[in-house]
Structure 1
Amino acid sequence: MNAHASTLDTDKLRKFKALMEGGKTLGERQAAKRKAETLATRAGLTLWQAMSKLDAPVGIVRTASPSFADIFGAMEDEEERKNPGHKARQAKERAEKEAKRRARCDALAAQYGSLEAVFEDTEIEAALREALAHLEDPANRIWGYEDYRANEPTPAMWEAIRAAVHVPTTLPELLALHRAQEALGTDRYTVDDHWTPGHWSEAWRGALEHLLDTLADPTAEGVAARIDWMLDLAKRDFSRGAERDEVVLAALKADFAILSVSVQTGQPQPQTETQRRAAVLDLLRQHFELTDREIARRTGVSPTTVGKQRRKMERSHA
């Protein structure tokens, strides 16, 4: 028996389990799963070991404190007294929800070839699983990789990811990939509400979201895609935090400012990374006196990138 198992907060775990199973969106269910994993890890357990304790027979050890099930049951009884038929309606809703789920499972079996095929790695997942394997860290049981804590991958992870799969350089393509992964996750949760994404899949999701937040794409399509990304975030039932909201808003504002200049001057802005780098070099050759910030504003790159190009140009002419 695990020496730390007694520290498991089963009441909190039941709440997270309820959200994992009944959350309105994939993001809400995934957030609940992460919180449940953290709770289990602190108790020295895997998620499934912790979940199995919720299925243990009640009554072996009783305390004076009511359990979550007791409290929930009392609330249901009280609601039934206030609104006769409440429990029957709830049971009917659950039955209808399950019927819809089963019908959706039948459709998924037809779409993928079988329900088992829903869980097979995509080409991207298979490539990332192999590429990131050497960075696995058994001690990081929540996120799986050395020094990784979700959101932006580490430099070593970025190197492995870019070597294994195509990483888009435009926001519309990034958004399409992210939505496809979210849809696949929803399909998998529909079939098995205890499904857990692989660490490699979560790393890819974190990479896509970081780029959707920060990648410069000062085009009409890019600005529209970032607004769509923000709308996707607004539909989630949980907040990523004010800091990340500020990052994506700053990126949108910067792209819009550059796009506005291009509309006013009639000069198209560079769209790809290679084009932006070339645009930086052109401006440095023609207007070396411009500040790094001004060149960055005109070309859609960071002032740091401009500074590096400026120093390279100075060294080449030294």
Structure 2
Amino acid sequence: MTDPIDSNRLRKTLALLQQATGGEELAALAAVRRILDTGGLSLSDLVPVNSIAGTRGDDRTSSRPPSSPFAFKEDFDDFMERKEPGYRARMAAEQAEIARQNAAFRQSVIAKYGSEAAALCPTPLEQAINDACKPLIRVRAGYPDDLDGCNPFLFGGLPARVVAVLKAAVPMPTTLQKAASEVAFWEERDHEIRSIMEGCPIEQRLSLACEARRQMVMDALQYDIRAVSVADAIFRVEFLLNSGTYPTEKELQPALDDLRALAAGEENRQAMVQNHSSATSSVSARRSEVIRLLSHPATATLADREIARQVGVSPQTVGNLRRKLATSG
């Protein structure tokens, strides 16, 4: 027996599909198919083939251009109304509530920054990242801008040069909690920009460089940063579960690796994560990491205790190095 389809999720995915381009369009189309599969439906059930071709007998459908099955929104609404009576009324009420919430959020963004123009100005973090990546931005007539040959809004990994520049521009978070905090910042910032630039293309939200940074931090949170406690491993899993999607086996694997390593004991754990651990291990490496954090404007203002916690040294060590840097500077 098939499950009923999530009509609300399907409607939102169709709306995303209408805005998407390139790889995003393929991803959205695949998501539509997955939603329909849960109800034992296919794309042909969503919109009849003769409607797509513009050959249905009634004037309303035959007069529309056969550009895409998803251009026929009225067909979809008719289909859902037959399947779920009252669907149109429910969707109209939901859309009205969404519009009200969006308007309220937009006003809160304007109040936060003082004006629409100010809300669109880069934050200090955005500016630092944009400035660092500016030499890598490639603009070509007739093509989307890219970042050293890569468009972070589409599929594909980031070039090594982009990764190196972004890491040098602003230190990467070294704990799962810090990474989650930065991911939340980027998602909120993206929401703010979209609320001001209503209806803008996806590429006009976060900048290319900032979207690349967001993806890097997300990858660090999901795969690279190692859990140092069971609480960390649970934190990673809870983050994945709260992301609004079903975690894949690949996404859950780091948490399983961490739990196995923690259960095996500290000595075995160090051996298991040595190849991909981002934590520093030697005394000299930890000292260099402290100096790097103290020397960078974005992290120099952190408390000694916080830097000590991130790197794995004592607050006294951080304080001593901070004083040495102050006297030598």
Scaled by the length of structure 2, the TM-score of the pair is 0.54
Q: 1:145 aligns with which of 148, 151, 155?
A: 148
Mapped to 1, the partners of 2:146 and 2:234 lie a distance apart of 29
Q: 1:68 aligns with which of 53, 67, 70?
A: 70
2:205 aligned partner, one-letter code? T
> In the superposition, relative to structure 1, how do residues 121 and 224 fare at CA in structure 2: closer, same or farther (>3 Å)?
farther
Query: Cα offset for 1:229?
Result: 3.4
The residue number in structure 1 matching 2:215 is 206
Query: Cα offset for 1:162?
Result: 2.8
The residue number in structure 2 matching 1:18 is 15
Mapped to 2, the partners of 1:203 and 1:130 lie a distance apart of 14
The residue number in structure 1 matching 2:187 is 182
Query: Cα offset for 1:225?
Result: 4.1
**Pairwise CA RMSD of aligned residues?**
4.3
Mapped to 2, the partners of 1:201 and 1:166 lie a distance apart of 14
Query: Cα offset for 1:204?
Result: 0.6
Q: SS where residue 172 of structure 2 aligns?
A: coil
The residue number in structure 2 matching 1:249 is 255
Q: Which stretches in structure 2 are left out of the alignment for 5+ residues?
A: 1-10, 28-60, 268-276, 287-329
Equivalent residues in 2 for 1:289-308 (5 A)? none
Mapped to 2, the partners of 1:217 and 1:85 lie a distance apart of 49
> In the superposition, relative to structure 1, how do residues 237 and 182 fare at CA in structure 2: closer, same or farther (>3 Å)?
same
CA contact (8 A) 2:151 2:208 kept: no
Query: Cα offset for 1:196?
Result: 2.7
The residue number in structure 2 matching 1:135 is 136
Query: Cα offset for 1:67?
Result: 4.4
> In the superposition, relative to structure 1, how do residues 130 and 224 fare at CA in structure 2: closer, same or farther (>3 Å)?
same
The residue number in structure 2 matching 1:305 is none
Query: Cα offset for 1:241?
Result: 5.2
Q: Percent identity of the aligned residues?
A: 22
Mapped to 1, the partners of 2:106 and 2:17 lie a distance apart of 18
The residue number in structure 2 matching 1:160 is 165
Equivalences, count: 228
1:190 aligned partner, one-letter code? S
Query: Cα offset for 1:93?
Result: 2.5
Mapped to 1, the partners of 2:68 and 2:164 lie a distance apart of 51
Q: SS where residue 219 of structure 1 aligns?
A: coil
Query: Cα offset for 1:96?
Result: 2.2
Q: Which stretches in structure 1 are left out of the alignment for 5+ residues?
A: 1-13, 22-28, 40-57, 263-270, 282-318
Q: SS where residue 132 of structure 1 aligns?
A: helix
> In the superposition, relative to structure 1, how do residues 98 and 205 fare at CA in structure 2: closer, same or farther (>3 Å)?
same
2:136 aligned partner, one-letter code? L
Query: Cα offset for 1:17?
Result: 6.6
* 76-85 vs 211-220, which moves further: 76-85
The residue number in structure 2 matching 1:231 is 238
